[in-house]
A = this chain, B = another copy of it.
Amino acid sequence: MPGVDIEISEVGPRDGLQSISPIMPTAAKMAWISALAAAGIPEIEVGSFVPASVLPQLADTAELVSHAKSISGLSVAVLVPNLRGAENALAVRPNKMTVPLSVSESHCLKNLKRTHEQLLAEVRGIRAAINGLPNKDRPKLEGSLSTAFGCTLEGAVPQSKVMEMAEKLLAAGCDEVGLSDTTGFASPTQVGQYTREIHRLLGKDKLTGIHLHNTRGQGLANVMAALDAGLTTIDSSMGGIGGCPFAPGASGNIVTEDLVFLLESMGLSTGVNFEAMFTARQVLAEALPNVELYGFTPEAGLPKGFSAATLQ
């Protein structure tokens, strides 16, 4: 996005809403997405193309893509678990599709019901489907390296395996890979090392984004390592909804509001307007009155005399 140092990729409508049981009405989701975009959030993952029987909370993803695509300048992202999901997604023309591959094969089998080879075959199918579209309609395809920093089933995941899967995802047709701390295991040391190694092996343009969880409170510390290693797109969730929340009072995903404050306080522009962002939070809070929203900055407010990098 021009004029922005770091891009926030808001995953709340997908990663957040899939983790809570109340189903947010489509009109409310649209209002929230519009409010997020109005705040200057450049990219929103609006949903996931999974069967409604699996995630009824996200059954309206196609409608949301169409709505979000009507918002000028917004990058509209979706998650697709397989070729069938991708085909449904392509019908409504998102700007970006993310396919997750768990680097831990046990996790891949358990969550995505596929071996690595089966999942890579899906990716090749998705690439072919994308290439069947006119150039202007082709979304960016990202392969997300889930459980890259460790797995609740397997424990430590070797760095070499992360590199191998990154290479295979690109070979199978992904434009980019993304690192994902699905389990909240990541340390800043790992984030820095893995990012630099992928950049060295595969090129800096092949990895620009990261998805971090805050399960053990390390989310923004890991962001520091990601910034230091040159990543420029950070996933986060408004109110910290979703992710892997364990602790009472603890978000699973890193909180968009606190992330924006971190970046802006460091002089890194996000394009986000604080007041409009807090308004979007209000829209979310009103739509989900029984869901706890996290985030310190919305409660504490901006420091007296605070000067943001983005013109407010």
Report A's interface with B, CB cutoff 8 A.
150-156, 183-185, 187-189, 214-218, 220-221, 223-225, 228, 246-250, 255, 258, 261-262, 265-267, 292, 294-301, 303-307
Contact = CB atoms under 8 A, between A and B. Distances in A.
A248 B299 contact: yes
A299 B258 contact: no
A247 B296 CA distance: 6
CB-CB nearest 5 A-B residue pairs = A155-B305, A249-B249, A247-B299, A187-B265, A217-B296
Contacts of A301: 246
Contacts of A185: 303, 306
Could you say how many copies of this chain the assembly holds? 2
Contact of A295 (B247, B258, B262): B247
Contacts of A187: 262, 265-266
A141 to B, nearest CB: 30
29 contacts: A152-B304, A154-B305, A155-B304, A156-B305, A183-B303, A185-B303, A187-B262, A187-B266, A188-B265, A214-B296, A216-B297, A216-B303, A217-B255, A217-B261, A217-B295, A217-B297, A218-B220, A218-B258, A218-B261, A220-B221, A221-B224, A246-B299, A247-B296, A247-B298, A248-B249, A248-B299, A249-B294, A250-B296, A250-B299
A189 B250 CA distance: 26
A123 to B, nearest CB: 28
A250 B66 CA distance: 37
A309 to B, nearest CB: 10
A226 to B, nearest CB: 11
Nearest to A184: B300
Contacts of A183: 303
Contacts of A303: 150, 155, 183-185, 216
Nearest to A248: B299
B246 A300 contact: yes
Contact of A266 (B189, B220, B255): B189
